[in-house]
Structure 1
Amino acid sequence: MSFALFLDIDGVLNTRTTVVGAPSGRTGIDESRVRLLKKALKQFGDAAIVLTSDWKLMREDGDDFSYLVSMLAKFGLSLSGKTTDVWVGRGEGIQSYLAEHPEIDEYVILDDNTFDFSNYPKLWERLLLTNGIENAEYASKTPAIEAMLFLEAVKD
């Protein structure tokens, strides 16, 4: 059994109230939110973190991407991969990633937008909509058990 977290950054690990900046000047990442993410992931053991955010489009040797990686590493977290979709096809990108990684049988999606997720019922059931990870809510009226367990861990 393998668990993956599909992670957006903007609206999950930062919000409009975030005061720290990334090297380029774009909104940075709140350490308190990364700490909360780490706490929630603890119950899932060896979770894979897959980047779905538009941060995935940055050069991996660039300052902002290095900043992201270092902020996660500060809390013992690392990226396992990233989707290859464009901004509006995020659900399609996750579907493709799951098809390429059949070892993933449980997953949760953290995002502050609905994109095309409702076109994919299994994704919709696992989507937690955020305005900062601490304000996560179910997208679906009938969430999957993974989403319920993850949200419970965030709220503890």
Structure 2
Amino acid sequence: MKALFLDIDGVVNSRRSSVRHGHLVGIDPTLAGRVRRVIAETGCAVVLSSTWRLWEENVAEVRAGVTSELYGMTPSIPGSRRGTEVASWLADHPEVTRYAIVDDNADFARDQPLFQTSWEIGITDEVADALIAYLNDEDAAMPAPRRRGWWRRFLGR
């Protein structure tokens, strides 16, 4: 089984998104459509790894705006990196044979297949295409390692 670990902020919404969910940025239909294309073209199950998983109203928004079928949610492990939460979830789900992570943060282990987006623009067609290729091709290479220190680029340092 294939799994997609899905973040929300910086993936299906961005600084440019005008859709609102309460006082927060909501789910951008265009960006959500790109994630739905990944799901349709790979047959992957979606595991919510976003902090949105911590509030039922936000999970309902994800079900309404991205996919009604969530296979699961990563555990919340206080003080841990998101990559640790993904590893913990995977340890309990041996049925997963291939997975990918789509997130705007880089707090994952180097051996975890992260397809990093940007808070500025969210998921692009290029990232969606790369996810599809990776999830559908057992021989596909993992994405190139991310650069650490994204916050320095964000602050212009």
Shorter-chain TM-score tier: 0.7 to 0.9
Out of 129, 132, 136, which is 2:116 matched to? 129
Please name the residue that 2:61 is paired with.
67
Indicate conservation of the 8 Å contact 1:128/1:136, yes or no.
no
Alpha-carbon distance, 1:43 to partner: 2.1
Preserved contact between residue 5 and residue 47 of structure 2 (Cα < 8 Å): yes
Distance change (3 Å), C-alpha of 1:34 and 1:114: same
Aligned length: 129
Cα 1:16–1:41 shift into 2, 3 Å = same
How far apart are the structure 1 equivalents of 2:41 and 2:60? 27
Write 1 or 2 for the structure with the bigger share of helix: 1
Unaligned runs of at least 5 residues, structure 1: 138-142, 150-156
CA offset digits 1:62-91 (Å, max 9, x no partner) = 3x3322221124xxx421110013475110
Q: Give me the whole-angstrom Cα distance separating, in 1, the residues matched to 2:126 and 2:106.
A: 13
In structure 2, what residue type is equivalent to 1:69?
Answer: R
Query: Sequence identity, in percent?
Result: 33
1:117 corresponding residue in structure 2: 109
Cα separation, partners in 2 of 1:81 and 1:39, compared to 1, 3 Å: same
Partner of 1:152: none
Aligned to 2:142: none
Distance 1:133 1:88, change over 3 A: farther
Contact 2:46/2:71 (8 A) holds in 1: yes
Q: Distance in 2 between matches of 1:90 and 1:134?
A: 22
Q: What are the residue-to-residue correspondences of 1:1-156 with 2, within 5 Å? A: 2-22=1-21, 24-45=22-43, 47-58=44-55, 60=56, 62=57, 64-73=58-67, 77-86=68-77, 88-118=80-110, 121=111, 123=112, 126-131=113-118, 132-134=122-124, 146=134
Deviations 1:89-142 (A, max 9, x none): 110111111110000011110000101333xx1x1xx110002111666xxxxx
Query: Taking structure 1 as reference, are residues 81 and 93 closer, same or farther at Cα in structure 2, changes over 3 Å only?
Result: same
* 1:108–1:147 Cα contact (<8 Å) kept: yes
The one-character-per-residue Cα deviations of 1:18-65 (angstroms, maximum 9, x if unpaired) are: 11101x2111010111111111222212x210011010111x2x3x33
> Structure 1 residues 84, 25: CA separation in 2 closer, same or farther (over 3 Å shift)?
same
Inter-CA distance 127–28: structure 2 relative to 1 (3 Å threshold)? same
Letter in 2 for 1:57: L
TM-score by length of 1: 0.73
